[in-house]
């Protein structure tokens, strides 16, 4: 873990639970794409920088989930680097309580206020094309989170953040976090057509061709949506629907999984309702979902 892997002349990634991109902008300066899940990740990144005599100039965050921005505060304090994040992700990076609050739908209890869902605050700035090193390009990747982006480096390596998961992850957990299902599918359809020297997803193996994996993720989305519609053949409340999905997919309920999977299922319900496949009605002061 935290092994530095070179994938092209300028571009590397650091193997970690969420891969961290590292790109040389000249012989002595580098930038990062994300920063790992916590202060310890930041320390290990700093050790890699020191071992190679590299100076960190900036961190470009793909999005604001805690496992991607957890090293921000430590690295900024140690190196003085600037931190950039796109759109709403910048606000979440500045105010990380927003992530567990958003997932829970209210003030999060202590069980949700931990480093896996809530990073430390950092001084993030707005990510715009003009703050990128020469030759970098921003790739909009909406769906997984609000304003998530990826990056194409000058030597044609594409960092894809969390827009897809590995086959192993999907087969094990089945329901991976999605904020906007419609845009998630559109992003994956776009990714399927992309070409690059190398693709580096945060939670899947680096590969020269990502199209088959993108399709596998798309197929899983449709599988889950069809299962939800089938469960809704009889009117069902959200909690009963969530229980059924956890049981059928052999998932284990805890606070973290309740908010991550629960928020995702609510996003599926919104998408299915907006597309006319299910409907919602209130009965005896309870919201019920039902197949059309």
Say if residue 49's pLDDT is above 90: yes
pLDDT at 207: 98
Banded pLDDT at 1 (limits 50, 70, 90):
confident
pLDDT value for 88: 98
Quote the CA–CA distance of 80 and 289 in Å, as a whole number. Answer: 51
pLDDT at 160 over 90: yes
Q: Is the pLDDT of residue 100 over 90?
A: yes
Q: For the chain, which domains are there?
A: 4-133 (3.60.15.10), 227-291 (1.10.10.10)
Per the DSSP assignment, residues forming a β-bridge with 151 are 138, 159
pLDDT score at 107: 98
With a pLDDT cut of 90, the percent of the chain lying above it is 100
Ordered strands of the 278-283 beta sheet: 236-237, 286-291, 278-283
| pTM, full prediction | 0.97
How far is the C-alpha of 197 from the C-alpha of 110, rounded, in Å? 44
pLDDT of the residue at 171: 96
Q: What's the sign of the alpha-carbon dihedral 209, 214, 13, 127? A: positive
Q: Give the rounded percent of residues in the chain with a pLDDT score beyond 70.
A: 100
Residue 109: count of CB within 10 angstroms of its CB: 10
């Amino acid at each position: 873990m935290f092994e530095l892997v070179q994938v092209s002349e300028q571009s590397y990634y650091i193997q970690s639970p969420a891969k961290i991109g590292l790109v040389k902008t000249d012989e002595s300066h580098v930038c990062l794409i994300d920063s790992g899940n916590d202060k310890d990740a930041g320390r290990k990144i700093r050790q890699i920088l020191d071992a190679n005599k590299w100076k960190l100039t900036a961190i470009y965050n793909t999005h604001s989930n805690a496992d991607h921005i957890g090293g921000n505060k430590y690295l900024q304090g140690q190196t003085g680097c600037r931190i950039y994040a796109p759109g709403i992700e910048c606000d979440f990076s500045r105010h990380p309580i927003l992530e567990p609050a958003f997932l829970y739908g209210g003030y999060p209890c202590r069980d949700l206020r931990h480093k896996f869902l809530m990073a430390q605050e950092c001084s993030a700035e707005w990510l715009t094309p003009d703050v990128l090193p020469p030759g970098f390009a921003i790739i909009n990747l909406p769906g997984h989170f609000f304003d998530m982006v990826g990056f194409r480096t000058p030597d044609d390596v594409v960092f894809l953040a969390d827009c897809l998961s590995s086959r192993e992850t999907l087969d094990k957990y089945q329901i991976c976090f999605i904020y906007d299902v419609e845009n998630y599918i559109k992003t994956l359809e776009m990714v399927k057509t992309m070409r690059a020297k190398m693709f580096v997803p945060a939670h899947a193996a680096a590969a020269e061709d990502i199209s088959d994996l993108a399709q596998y993720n798309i197929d899983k989305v449709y599988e889950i949506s069809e299962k939800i519609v089938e469960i809704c053949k009889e009117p069902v409340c959200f909690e009963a629907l969530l229980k059924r999905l956890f049981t059928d997919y052999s998932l284990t309920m805890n606070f973290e999984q309740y908010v991550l999977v629960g928020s995702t299922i609510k996003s599926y319900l919104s998408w299915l309702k907006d597309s006319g496949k299910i409907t919602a009605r209130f009965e005896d002061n309870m919201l019920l979902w039902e197949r059309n």
